[in-house]
Structure 1
Amino acid sequence: MRAHSFRLSRPARDVGIAPRPPISGLPIAVAERLGDIASAALLAELETWPKPGLVSHVDSGSHDDMDHTTFRRSAAAIRPFFARLAIAGAAGAEMERLRRIGRDAEEAMLAATGGVNTHRGAIFGLGLLCAAAGAASAEGAPARLSATQLTDIVAQCWGDDILRGPIPLRSNGSGVLRRFGAGGARAEAAAGFPQLREIGLPGLRRGRALAGDEDAARVQAFFALMAEVEDTNLLHRGGGAGLQDAQDAARRFLGDGGVGRGDWEARAVAIHHEFVRRRLSPGGCADLLAATIFLDAVERWL
């Protein structure tokens, strides 16, 4: 399962809501483009291989209830809601409005996957970044957007409300918060996603410099995130020892040259097999990788 969400306790219903007409200065084409970039980021994260313990086009990692097809269905189902969130951000929406759209997206996800949580954390993180991109582009075609600009908007506009918002009592993230005191996705978003700015994006660019290949660059970014992030999914599945072992494996991979070594893929696959054996799944890092890919794509949009 993935990390934190917009979700409140409410029964699911089958929805298929298209983006609503803009109620701000944001052209619908810009909102749709942001939705496309967010959806493409989810698919790029899915196709990244090897990602230890996680679902990809190669296998289902440490998961028995989801596979590559499940994730593709989910990404298609939630794509329109990223455009809606961009429109809401452009209109100056408060956090409760964003939560309502997020709940609609979750219901669409669950309807598409037969009740499996594939993208709850991504709806939260990518949704906030889409809303911020909408706010930054509110008066028409966007000027060049930056990751710092978008993450600052999230912290300044919605940070306090994110921290004050409801915590789902039965979620994995809330259970980890009570057991380990881990802040998780909520604290990361409220602070303006420092792990994206300081770890994810530099890791992606380092991977490009080392390997000159986008697939390898995403693997480098993923391992950079896993080396440092207090992933609540790892804590939920493996406790403190599982988190520490995952971080140590990532640090060894990076310290030995990362994707700059000729045998990097074999080394990453070996870590993947060990994670599967132990049922470890760094889903929070997967959500952060998708958000990293989104911010990088937005910066290179124009």
Structure 2
Amino acid sequence: MLAQAHVHTERCSVQSPIASPQRKHIAQQIAILAVRSLYAELVLYPKPGLVSLRDNGSHVDMDAACFMRSLFSLRHYFRDIALAGAAGAEFNILKNLGIAAEQRMLKATKGINTHRGAIFALGMLSAAAGYCLSRDGVLTTTTVRQALISQWGQALAAHSAPDAAQYLSHGLQAAKRYSASGAREEAALGFPSIFELALPRLQQSLREGRSLYLAQIDCFFTLMAHISDTNLYHRGGAAGIAYARDVAQNFLEQGGTADPQWLHTAENCHQEFIARRLSPGGAADMLAATCFVQLCLEEFSATRIHE
């Protein structure tokens, strides 16, 4: 893989890097957490307009089985990009790994875009986690964000700049048309929607005694209420995203999953989104990324790795 053959190892001299076998073990752990996070997003229900094990939401071209094939195709990608991050690889290395992963995804799904946004967001976070754990063996929200910005922030900012060659996907076309920010801009800033919005909401719901399932629902609606979801722009334009934000905000103002009627409300939202053909795929990607960060914190934050 590119991560193994072309990484610039001279950039790994910051502190003492993990020995190679241990680095591979950590990268495999990161990959497992990434796949678990994508699975958690898939099975969560109700997520208005989105595919779950219950139904296909607003989609006629994909179902849960398609997502499972996509997940399986990505398992080695997360390991390889975590290894590249641990080695301090330049952004082009990470980008090439992502492009190859996207090609494998499309082959597995027969051309259906199930996880393009997640390949980017969870890929960058996997690289950042690998980088942090290869330095001092401890991962925190602060160190992950610092790694993203210090190591790849400049390249990510350039990657998010308007460029006609980039606007191939529906999401990128929508971002250009509506001047909306997306995952690329988010990554360049260290994913503020994850670390300043979604993760605090997830952790707040957990502290208040709600289950992880309920906390993930609250997290999802929080993301939908705030982010510039290019998938919603593509399907519904400015009116579609305004509707989605209003629905999500109303759900949260009623108490989210603390409201005894939350499931009825959320299922009604789901049916309304289907009727309008709206699908907040960007919020789904950020939910998976938030779940990934939470899992990494649980797995690694109290662990110090030595040679």
Q: Judge same fold: TM > 0.5, yes or no.
A: yes
> d(CA) in 1 for partners of 2:291 and 2:184?
20
Equivalent of residue 68 in structure 1, options 64, 67, 77: 64
Any conservation in 2 of the 1:211–1:259 contact (CA below 8 Å)?
Answer: no
Count of matched residue positions in the alignment of Structure 1 and Structure 2: 284
1:150 lines up with 2:148 in the alignment: no
Out of 33, 45, 49, the position equivalent to 2:45 is: 49
- State the partner residue of 1:128: 124
**Residue 2 of structure 2 contacts residue 93 of structure 2 at CA under 8 Å; is this kept in 1?**
no
- Which residue is 2:250 aligned to? 252
Deviation of the 1:160 alpha carbon: 1.5
- Looking at structure 2, the residues matched to 291 and 122 of structure 1 have their Cα atoms a distance apart, in angstroms, of 7
- 1:89 positional shift: 0.7
Q: Deviations over 1:232-287 (max 9, x none)?
A: 11111111111011000001000001000112111100000000000000000000
**What is the root-mean-square deviation in Å for CA atoms of aligned residues?**
1.9
Gaps of 5+ in 1: 1-16
Q: How does 1:5-24 map to 2 (within 5 A)?
A: none
Which of the numbers 194, 198, 203 marks the counterpart of 2:201? Answer: 203
> Comparing both structures, which one devotes a greater share of its residues to helix?
2
- Write the distance in 2 (CA, Å) between the matches of 1:154 and 1:200: 18
The reply on whether 1:161 has 2:155 as its aligned counterpart is yes
1:127 Cα offset (Å): 0.3
Structure 1 counterpart of 2:64, one-letter code: H
The alpha carbon displacement at 1:19 in A equals: 8.3
Which of 32, 36, 39 pairs up with 2:32?
36
Partner of residue 92, structure 1 = 88
AA in 1 matched with 2:253: G
Q: TM-score, normalised by structure 2?
A: 0.88
For residues 129-278 of structure 1, the aligned pairs below 5 Å read 129-139=125-135, 143-165=137-159, 168-210=166-208, 212-278=210-276
1:210 to partner: Cα distance: 4.4
2:225/2:245 contact within 8 Å kept = yes
**Does the 8 Å contact 2:42/2:64 carry over to 1?**
yes
Letter in 1 for 2:155: D
Question: In the alignment, what sits opposite 1:3?
Answer: none
Give the 3 Å change call, closer, same or farther, for CA 69–278 of structure 1 in structure 2.
same
**8 Å CA contact 1:206, 1:220 repeated in 2:** no
Amino acid at match of 1:154: L
Taking structure 1 as reference, are residues 203 and 195 closer, same or farther at Cα in structure 2, changes over 3 Å only? Answer: same
Instruction: Specify every segment of 5 or more residues in structure 2 that has no aligned partner in the other structure, as ranges.
Output: 13-17, 301-307
Matched position secondary structure for 1:138: helix
- The one-letter amino acid paired with 1:31 is A
Distance in 1 of aligned mates of 2:189 and 2:256: 28
CA contact 1:146–1:295 (8 Å) conserved in 2 = no
Contact in 2 for aligned 1:231/1:243 (Cα 8 Å):
yes
Distance 2:132 2:224 in 1: 30
